[in-house]
Every structure is written in C-alpha cells, then in structure tokens.
Amino acid sequence: MIEEKQASTYSGYLAIPVLLALTLVTPVAVAVLPVLLKIPMIIFGLLVLVCWIGFFMVAPNQGRVLQLFGKYVGSERNEGLRWANPLYMKAKVSLRVRNFESGTLKVNDSSGNPIDIAAVVVWKVVDTAEALFEVDDYENYVQIQSEAALRNLATTHPYDSHDDDGTDFCLRSNPEEVADLLKTEVQNRLSKAGVEVIEARISHLAYAPEIASAMLQRQQASAIVAARKKIVEGAVGMVDLAL
C-alpha cells in the first residue's frame, strides 16, 4: 500500500531570484569566457531555462502528487508558489469537502418488501497517494461503494417495525442509528482509497409505489390494533383499581 509522504520541494518565492540571477549571468559569462568554456556554459544556461518549468501553484485545500518517471516521490500540501524538480509530474488532488447524493435505489428490505432509498455522503480526501494509486478513479469509487453500502444496509434491516410498540430497530424509526451504521459501512469500504467519510445520511426512504398503498393500509390497521390494545389495557387497569 502506498502512503502519502512529504515531497522535497522549495518555496517558489526564494527560487525566483536565484533562477533570475542565473538566467541573467549566463549570457554575460558566455560572452566573456574563453571558447573552451562557452559550450559548458551554454549547456548550463539551457539547464537553467529548464528549471523554470519546476514552478507550480498549490491552492488552499489542494494537494499535488509528484511522480518521477512513474515513481511516486511525495506529495505537497503547502499552499502558494512552490518549486520542485522540473522532471516531476504534478497531479492535482482536491482536499475540499465534497457531497455525493446517490440516485434513488430500489431494493428489498430484510422483510422482502421493495423500498426506494437514497443517501447523501459527505467526504474528503485525506491521503493523496492512496487516492491516486490504490484505486483507478477515486471519485467514481466513492460513488459505487457508497451505493453498495446503502444497498447492503437496506437489505439487512426492515423498513418498518413489526412490533406494535415500535421497539424493533428499523430504517424508518431510527434515523440516527441508521446514519451511524451507514457512515461506518461506507468508511470501511473507502478507507483503502484515502477517503474520510464525514457524514452519511438517508435522504429518501419510502415503500416502492407498487406496494405503498397496501403498506399504508397495513400501518393504519396496526395503529388501530395498538389503540384498541391500549383501551383494553386501560379498562383492565381501572377494574383492578376498583377491586
């Protein structure tokens, strides 16, 4: 596993005067030096010009991943103008917080009822090397794995409680617990991609249209049964008190 490490870079504000001085001095040296030294000085001047390519900018909440001929050499997070080996390839990686909202997925809950469910995942990159080198496309990876985690959560828990008192754990009645489970599930899948999940919540939850009417009638019937049960329990209690 490739983990992020600090690259060897330098402040661009210090490198500018140095390169500028070398760029100005080289033509003068070529003009005054003997013929035998002109060619080495010309080569040196060309190298100085190539060094100007080594400048790059790092924006706030942005990282640069540096590679030399395909080998990872480090990452740079210090914002501002920087200078590094001009042969380095410098890939940008955003460290900003991002939102991903899944599409509405149709799945069967643990009771076999078809439901429509969607979620919002708030995430950010915390390891630039893992994000670029451990997975092919980390943004697409976040989307696919988030939806896979959401499907797994929906299929392993019921949409609604089957108890009259509603004490069973279910997707509809336990939003905070469901959010914690979803966040943990998504984080476990995304940790290898250098991604931290800040928050994950259900944004849409409903029975599928084809059974919505029938399930509404079932909920109404359950509510009536529960109400009658309370009435009976109250009447029994009053009788006990009278006796």
The pLDDT tens digits for 109-135 are 888 888 999 999 999 999 999 999 999
Given a cut of 60, whether residue 167 has pLDDT beyond it is no
Which of 218 and 188 is assigned the larger pLDDT?
188
Q: Is residue 222 part of a domain?
A: no
- Give the helix/strand (H/E) hosting 165: none
Q: Is residue 109 part of a domain?
A: yes
Residue 157's alpha-carbon distances to 24, 110, 134, 152, 168, in angstroms, are 72, 5, 31, 9, 10
Given a cut of 90, whether residue 31 has pLDDT beyond it is no
Cβ(78)–Cβ(58) below 8 Å = yes
Q: Are residues 103 and 138 in the same domain?
A: yes
User: Which amino acid is it at 50?
Assistant: V
Of 93, 108, 139, the position where a domain reaches its end is 93
What pTM was estimated for this model as a whole? 0.77
Q: Are residues 156 and 54 in the same domain?
A: no
Q: Are residues 66 and 166 in the same domain?
A: no
Q: Is residue 239 part of a domain?
A: no
Confidence (pLDDT) at 209: 77
* pLDDT bracket for residue 161 (50, 70, 90): confident
Beta bridge partners of 91: 65
Q: What is the mean pLDDT of the chain?
A: 87
Confidence (pLDDT) at 67: 96
Helix (H, G, I), strand (E, B) or coil at 162: coil
Q: Is residue 3 part of a domain?
A: no
Q: How far is residue 145's CA from residue 136's CA, in Å, rounded to a whole number?
A: 13
Which of 32 and 190 is assigned the larger pLDDT?
190
Q: Are residues 66 and 159 in the same domain?
A: no
Of 93, 126, 153, the position where a domain reaches its end is 93
Residue 11: both structure tokens together: 């402040």
Given a cut of 90, whether residue 142 has pLDDT beyond it is yes
Confidence (pLDDT) at 153: 93
* pLDDT bracket for residue 168 (50, 70, 90): confident
Q: How far is residue 71's CA from residue 73's CA, in Å, rounded to a whole number?
A: 6
pLDDT (mean) for 63-79: 95
Q: What's the structural domain count of the chain?
A: 2
Q: Is residue 141 part of a domain?
A: yes
Ranges assigned E (strand) in the chain: 10-11, 55-58, 62-68, 71-76, 80-83, 89-94, 98-101, 105-108, 114-125, 195-207
In CATH, what number is assigned to the domain containing residue 151? 3.30.479.30
Which of 116 and 32 is assigned the larger pLDDT?
116
Judged by average pLDDT, the poorest of 60-74, 108-122, 141-155 is 108-122
Q: Are residues 76 and 109 in the same domain?
A: no
Q: Are residues 112 and 196 in the same domain?
A: yes
* pLDDT bracket for residue 20 (50, 70, 90): very high
Q: Are residues 66 and 39 in the same domain?
A: yes
The pLDDT tens digits for 194-225 are 999 999 999 999 888 776 555 565 665 555 55
Percent of the chain with pLDDT over 70: 84
Q: Is residue 220 part of a domain?
A: no
Q: Are residues 110 and 64 in the same domain?
A: no
Domain assignment of residue 73, given as a range: 10-93
Of 69, 93, 117, the position where a domain reaches its end is 93
Of 124, 126, 129, 125, residue with least CA distance to 75: 129
Q: Is residue 50 part of a domain?
A: yes
Q: Is residue 171 part of a domain?
A: yes
